[in-house]
Amino acid sequence: MKTRYIFLLTAFAAGVAAAAPMMAQDKPVGGKLTTMPHGTYQCALPGDVGGKAFDVVKEEEFRLGSASSYTNTAGKGIYLLRGKSLTFTRGPKKGERFSRVGTNQLKRGKLICTRLGGQS
């Protein structure tokens, strides 16, 4: 009788061990692939109480176009927007990562980039 229980427990443990990797798989990170609205994005850092509300960082400005492309003063490249995470994958901004914080806004640390109105 004990042999049967030992055999059943061993078989059950083997089944759990075999199924564990399938149950432990995480969902793919990131989310749905999308694009940002096209246009020029102006980037700025927060100012201080005694001065400007924000300080524009002209070197960080870029323009998003069709087919997940972008251009800036240094050249052109491609970006990937997965869920709320935007990564520049080619070109002068390659490797830079931003978080989408609004329909027309991206953020990296304290730097926030906002699409300028009236331009497409």
- In the 8-state DSSP scheme, what is residue 32? -
- List of domains in the chain: 33-115 (2.40.128)
* pLDDT tens column, 19-58: 666 555 555 556 889 999 999 999 999 988 888 889 999 9
Listed residue (113, 74, 105) closest to 91, CA to CA:
74
Whether the full predicted model's pTM is greater than 0.85, yes or no, is no
Q: Which residues pair with 80 in a beta bridge?
A: 87
Distance CA 9, CA 91 (A): 58
